[in-house]
Chain A
Amino acid sequence: MQRIKIKMQMSDVFFRILAAFMTLLILFPFLWLLLSSVKTNAEYYVQPSPFFPSDPQWDRYKYVFIDLAFYKYMINSIFLAAVVVVLNVTSSSFVAYGMARFQFKGKSIVFTVMLMTMFLPSQVSFIPQFLIFDKLEWVNTYLPIVVPHLFGAAANILLVSQFIKAIPKEMDEAAMMDGCNSFSIWLRIILPQSVAVLIVVAISAFLGSWKDSMSPLIYLRDANLYTVPVALMYFQAPDQNSYLLLLTGVVISIIPTLIVYVCLQKWMDKGIFIADLK
């Protein structure tokens, strides 16, 4: 009995140490990035580089944020993500209602194709999509990035339709008695009833758009339209510190993520991000 107890503690300790080690490992680059971003050139480009900067260059943050227009890229990114969220949530919920509440021929084919698109690489269609958007003269606008979200996203549709199925049908029927048509049932009953799952969809759409680098890299040419990833990619500073200024830009790009993250802690902790498992 004694031996068993010790064994239990041993493996418990192993997992504790593993988790603590992983946490520190993951934190380290953040810390090193932050410290590097405020080191002077002389302190960064030296071996060995001191761990803590002796004269932190905090004014770099103001320079990158204001003078190098990172505030603008951030506004662009957030604006784009907000539009994507609205379009994606609305269209996904709209289609999900059709999938959840109506029986029609070919529904199972639609379902299967939807499921398949989740597993297929989208890159194969990037070149033709570019040609289409180029013909429409949409290159160098936000349209090629936001318009695809008008049509709903398969994963979100499937997730929301699972949720809608759990809403009692009696609510629809009662509304229909009151003279509501299908569209107003969706708008007045289904949308408000599925807020919980729509928040999940909204979060994932927001993050997807905020993190997306490929479409903005392909479509945005004008620096005024740049989103944060593009701005980092094409970062230029008229300064010999440019690398350390870039690191400052990277830190700045992380800050909104942190804010969103802290605000959404409640949702995260419920593991709700992966509700699509069920």
Chain B
Amino acid sequence: MKKSGLARKARIGWVFVSPWIIGFLLLTLIPLLVSLYMAFHEWDMFSDPVFVGLKNFKRLLDTSTIEGQTFFAALSNTLIYTFFTAIINIVVGIAIAWAVARSSVINTIMRSVIYLPCMLIGIAFSMMMGPIFGSSDYAFVNQILHMLGLPPQEWLFTHGQGVWVMVFMSFWGIGGAMIVFIAGIKTVDSAVYDAASIDGASNFKLLTRICVPIISPVIIYQTIMSIIFGMQVFDIAVGLSSAGGTGSGFGMGIDNSLATLVFYLYNKGFRDFEMGMASAIGWLIFLLTSIVSVGLFAFVRKTGYFKVD
């Protein structure tokens, strides 16, 4: 009697969980496999797919082809962006969180302002930066250069420079990390800080010697999130590349100056309709991110932050 009751409960459990499982199969697992199939084909959506073996991957990984050059430009931009954004998020994020963690009117105002850019539409955010970092002679930074008697710079159109504008824009995106770190800082018993500061520890030492070690799981979590989101950077690059962001309005900047992996996938798939090539890019992104994620994921499980029960 009891056993059948348990079995019945288990069945009901499956019913409740089923929407997610169906969604996972239809929108994640099956597309993943279809995408793998496509990656070995050439297909423009109009004629039938043609099997081409490893050709798509070979072209992407061969720097003598246009695809290869673009792919590696996108890869290098994405890695630079991910690496430096993660560092900015962690280092500046913690420092800012520490500075504004205490509740006061002025801190609340500063927190709100610092978080504000995180609420913006990515494209609007990069378009907002257009009049500052844009390549036009009249953008703010170029106006300053002009006043200093220096030549204006085509930041976004110069290979190897566009990505640094994106990295620099990360300072406007630290709000998310800040909120996470404030929560972390607040979980530490204030008596711990008090005791240390009575012993003569400076504010800086309180942060680096006491707070940072205690909230290290939060730091790990935030690092993982920064890396995963960094690898998928898309909308700020698209926004900067658009006519509105910079005045260019074609492709991924000039000379792939604004190329990122996901942007390249989007271009191949939804502008050029080279579905096979786009799928191959997708799988390379997937493999690359998986290697990073799985390592980090194993680490997170060990910290025991998420538990089944």
Contacts and interface: CB of A to CB of B under 8 A. Distances in A.
Interface string A106-120: 011011011111011
A254 interface: yes
A19 B100 contact: yes
Interface in B285-304: 285-286, 289-290, 293-294, 296-297
Given A102-B10, A116-B297, A247-B131, A123 B120 contact: no
A246 interface: yes
Contact of B238 (A117, A213, A257, A271): A213
Which of A28, A127, A210 is most buried by chain B, counting CB atoms within 10 A of its CB?
A127
Nearest to B142: A47
A188 interface: no
Interface in B93-148: 95-96, 98-100, 107-117, 119-124, 127-132, 137-138, 140, 143, 146-147
Interface stretch (B56-64, B67-75, B153-161, B196-204): B196-204
B16 to A, nearest CB: 3
B203 A32 contact: no
Determine the main DSSP class of A at the interface with B.
helix
26 contacts: A22-B174, A25-B171, A26-B114, A26-B116, A36-B131, A46-B138, A48-B143, A97-B16, A102-B12, A102-B17, A104-B14, A107-B17, A115-B306, A119-B224, A127-B35, A128-B30, A128-B32, A152-B20, A217-B270, A229-B123, A250-B127, A253-B124, A265-B112, A274-B179, A274-B180, A277-B218
Interface of B: 6, 9-17, 19-24, 26-28, 30-32, 34-35, 38, 45, 92, 95-96, 98-100, 107-117, 119-124, 127-132, 137-138, 140, 143, 146-147, 171-172, 174, 179-180, 182-184, 186, 197, 200, 202-205, 218, 221, 224, 228, 231-232, 234-235, 238-239, 242-244, 247, 262, 265-266, 269-270, 275, 278-279, 282-283, 285-286, 289-290, 293-294, 296-297, 305-306, 308-309
